[in-house]
Amino acid sequence: MTVDLEHLAGMYRQMLLIRRLEEEAARAYALGKIGGFLHLYIGQEAVAVGAVHALQPDDCVITTYRDHGLAIAKGMSARAMMAELYGKATGCSRGLGGSMHMFDVEHNMLGGYGIVGGHIPVAAGVAFASKYRGDGRVTLCFFGEGAVSIGGFHEGVSLAALWKLPIVFVCENNEYSMGTPLSRSMSVEDVSMKALGYGIDRDRFFVEDVVEVEQRIGEAVSRARSRSLPTLIEVRTYRFRGHSMSDPAKYRTQAELDEHKRRDPLHKAKDDLARDGYGEARLSALEASVEEEVADAVRFAEESPEPDASLLESTTYDGPFAA
């Protein structure tokens, strides 16, 4: 497989940026600077980065509460993400959303949602609007395998299939629905099989290479764009951290975790760059620029103002408050 090195370097840089931003977020969380829930995407970066590279800027994405990676991949600034985690007025959602609700409408990142499966019909609605208008956009809807058991998944996929909506459902199967392994949460572990009952195309693969993610999801994106057909894709991935910051992940073994870390797609991307002659100096410069961007984002978040209570009413209603 020949890959444009600049292209791969761009994807590696995004993956690294997401990884490093989240590592810093975890540190800030431990210091009490970030509150609430913090669900890290560490280990899964190749999914969002590869998938978004298969899209046009006008295409829409929507996901669950594990949303930082997708937001950054879609073009949200590191500053807007970190400031949102700090609850600051300069955050992407002005400090009102937090970790679970990253929105960046300018980049067509239509949000992270906190109710498992609830955003899947909403994503189908975004795709419905594209078909209604004939605007040629594709919607990518991300969710974990934990969402596959709830009604929202089935109603969303069923209607998207019935109405042939231009959407790709990306199930990020990270093997654990919070602390419950696949074997105890699903009668059929192959999530992509759900597509059969709805009569839509399916795909399934293990995420080891970000380039492969781009290509495999790209096939479904073209199917959505050119023929307005939905696809269900199960990508097998793995989160290196617990479900959220309060989860020490005692339900899995260190050996299992180590095995997955050995196959970290982030490292593979770096190794491929080195092997194919991207050059040590350029790699170091790329990594240094990521460190700079992360440090800048943290500094920006630290220094930004808190949101004012005057925001509350105007963000609840469009127009006069309705009490």
Partner 1 sequence: MRTLRFREALREAMTEEMDRDPSVFLMGEEVGHYQGAYKVSEGMLERFGDKRVIDTPIAESGFAGIGVGAAMVGLRPIIEFMTWNFSAVAFDQILNNAAKVRQMSGGQLSCPIVFRGPNGSARQVGSQHSHAMEHFYATIPGLKVLAPAFPVDAKGLLKAAIRDDNPIVFLESETLYSVKGEVPDDLGPTEIGKAGIVREGADVTLVAYSRMTHVCVEAADVLAREGISAEVVDLRSLRPLDEDTLVRAARKTGRCVVVHEGWPYGGVGAEIADRIQRLAFDWLEAPVLRVASLDVPMPYNRALEETCIPQVPRVVATARRAARRGRD
Contact with partner 1 (CB under 8 A) among 92, 207, 232, 233? 92
User: Quick one: 126 or 294, whose CB is closer to partner 1?
Assistant: 126
Residue 245 near residue 28, CB atoms below 8 Å: no
Tell me the backbone φ, ψ of residue 188, rounded to 5 degrees: -120, 115
Query: What would the x/- binding string for partner 1 be over residues 32 to 61, using CB under 8 A?
Result: ----------------------------x-
Quick one: which H or E segment has residue 268? helix 265-275
Q: What is the dihedral of CA 138, 142, 148, 149, to 10 degrees?
A: -120
Quick one: which H or E segment has residue 307? none
Least distance (Å) between residue 317 CB and partner 1: 6
- Residue 129 CA neighbour count, 13 Å, CB half: 8
User: Quick one: 11 or 124, whose CB is closer to partner 1?
Assistant: 124
Residue 5 as a binder of partner 1 (CB under 8 A): the answer is: no
Quick one: which H or E segment has residue 235? strand 231-236
User: Quick one: 153 or 238, whose CB is closer to partner 1?
Assistant: 153
Residue 147 as a binder of partner 1 (CB under 8 A): the answer is: no
Tell me the backbone φ, ψ of residue 2, rounded to 5 degrees: -90, 130
Query: What would the x/- binding string for partner 1 be over residues 102 to 121, using CB under 8 A?
Result: -xxx----xx-xxx--xxxx
Contact with partner 1 (CB under 8 A) among 9, 34, 124, 294? 124
Residue 189 near residue 183, CB atoms below 8 Å: yes
Residues within the interface to partner 1 (CB under 8 A):
60, 62, 91-97, 101, 103-105, 110-111, 113-115, 118-130, 132-133, 151-152, 155-156, 158-159, 162, 311-312, 314-323
